[in-house]
Amino acid sequence: MTGIDWETWLLEDAGHPIIEKMTERGIDALSPVERLTYCMWVADYGMRNGGDLETAADLYPQFKSEAAEIAADLRLQKTTEVFDLTDSELATVYFDRFDELCTEISEALGVPPQIN
């Protein structure tokens, strides 16, 4: 999809309200697709700020396994496939697969991206 800034979508459009909800009411208040979005946000934080998934795991240790499990439950094939990879494989393909993961998650979440 052209004209979509998926990084902004993840950080602001989808991620910000989820982070606020989690801060106010705790992670257990999040729906499964909100938790998946949070797991994606955590992975993105680690990859963009730390350059690896270790930073993500420091923030939320179960982000990867939880993302794979929720994505499978929601039948999000691409997201399940990516989060089922080993840490090194996920880190290698993360940026190449980022847009398609955000597309799949945004459709499940019902929070469409802004088109620039």
CA 43 – CA 33 distance, rounded (Å): 15
Residue 115 lies in a domain: no
Say yes or no to pLDDT of 5 above 60: yes
Residue 1 lies in a domain: no
Query: How many domains is the chain built from?
Result: 1
Please report the pLDDT score of residue 1 as a whole number: 44
Percent of the chain at pLDDT above 90?
91
Supply the pTM of this predicted model: 0.94
Please report the pLDDT score of residue 116 as a whole number: 64
Residue 23 lies in a domain: yes
The alpha carbon dihedral of 91, 17, 114, 110 has a sign of positive
> Which residue range forms the structural domain that includes residue 42?
6-109
Taking only the tens place, the pLDDT of each residue in 9-23 is 999 999 999 999 999
CA 50 – CA 45 distance, rounded (Å): 7
Taking only the tens place, the pLDDT of each residue in 35-52 is 999 999 999 999 999 999
